[in-house]
Amino acid sequence: MNNFLTMEGLSKDELTSVLDLSDEFVEVLARPIPKVPALRGRTVAMLFFEPSTRTRMSFERAAKALSADTMSFSPGTSSLSKGESLKDTALTIKAMGADALVVRHSSTGAPWRIAEWTGLPVLNGGDGAHQHPTQALLDALTIRQHFGSLEGLKVAIVGDIRHSRVARSDITAFSTLGATVTLVAPRTLLPVDLGDWPVRTARAIDEVLDSDVIYLLRIQKERGGASVLPSLPEYVSRFGLTWERFARMSSDSVVMHPGPMNRGVEIAPEVADHPRSLVEPQVANGVAVRMAVLFRLLGGEAEDV
């Protein structure tokens, strides 16, 4: 692995091997001292050009649990605001001795460009509405932990699919691992052309209440998601996972969300806090999968784990 930019093109075996390695880091994180020396002396730089709570902090936590040092960049207080280009910013951070870059950017493809310019290993922390591969890994790991395998599971992804990098990466990961994926969204929040996506579609959340996993997405207002909806109450009435709908789901089913949640819109607060909501395990697993990809990219040694 030179970079970790996309879920596309990863085979089932490759995906499974990253999840197996992540399981080892789940075990490391449960130790009294949750830290291994694997990446001692290495430096991971966080380049987040878009807001983030979970992804950024869990990459930092992951790097530190591997004994790497971290550097952080904040666009608002950086020289970007003085007109410095993305390329010069990336090369500046490389010159300070970063060994790998974690990049989040509002433009599709930005992490690929930064990888070309710097020649450093780049991990995509989310580019535009395109890809968010570590989110897909943590989601797949969370489902696998809960059900043992994704093979044959029915997963419904509900919400603003059109603007969601999470949906794009998840669809690939879940279907590669053998799940059947159904997308549920108003027509205006589905991509214009689903092309060869390995998915089915449904027109209302009531049609997918028999799923094993209902995966909810927020409406991406910053990418124009809200402007194509008639009204929020109308959205909730057809696509929101209300308590009444949750009560009709099987007692073996689970609910997931990548965060940030808009409680009372796509997910009722009681559903978000229910034991069958996997939101917290998702966040916890985010640290382990990011340790796994950093370990792979920076050539950690197995005996250090």
Is 228 or 305 the residue whose CB approaches ligand NCD more closely? 228
CB of 233 to ligand NCD, least distance (A): 21
Least gap, CB of 53 to ligand NCD (angstroms) = 8
82 annotated active-site? yes
At 97 the three-state DSSP class reads: coil
* Residue 82 structure tokens: 């003085």
Listed in sequence order, the DSSP H helices in 73-198 are 86-95, 110-118, 133-147, 165-176
CB 256 within 8 A of CB 215: yes
Residue whose structure tokens are 């998915």: 199
**108 catalytically annotated:** no
Q: In the annotation, is 238 catalytic?
A: no
Q: Least distance in Å: CB of 248 to ligand NCD?
A: 26
Q: Is the Cβ–Cβ distance between 115 and 3 less than 8 Å?
A: yes
Nearer to ligand NCD, 166 or 181 (CB): 166
Catalytic residue among 6, 55, 118, 172: 55
Binding site for ligand NCD (CB under 6 A): 54-55, 126, 132, 135, 165-166, 218, 258-259
Residue 43 known to be catalytic: no
Nearer to ligand NCD, 105 or 132 (CB): 132
From the CB of 97, what's the least distance to ligand NCD, in Å?
27
Please say which residue, 36 or 189, places its beta carbon nearer to ligand NCD.
189
Maximum alpha-carbon separation in the chain: 57
54 included as an active-site residue: yes
Q: Judging by DSSP bridges, how do beta strands 154-158 and 180-184 pair with one another?
A: parallel
Sign of CA dihedral 125, 129, 133, 135: positive
Positions annotated as catalytic residues are 54-55, 82, 104, 132
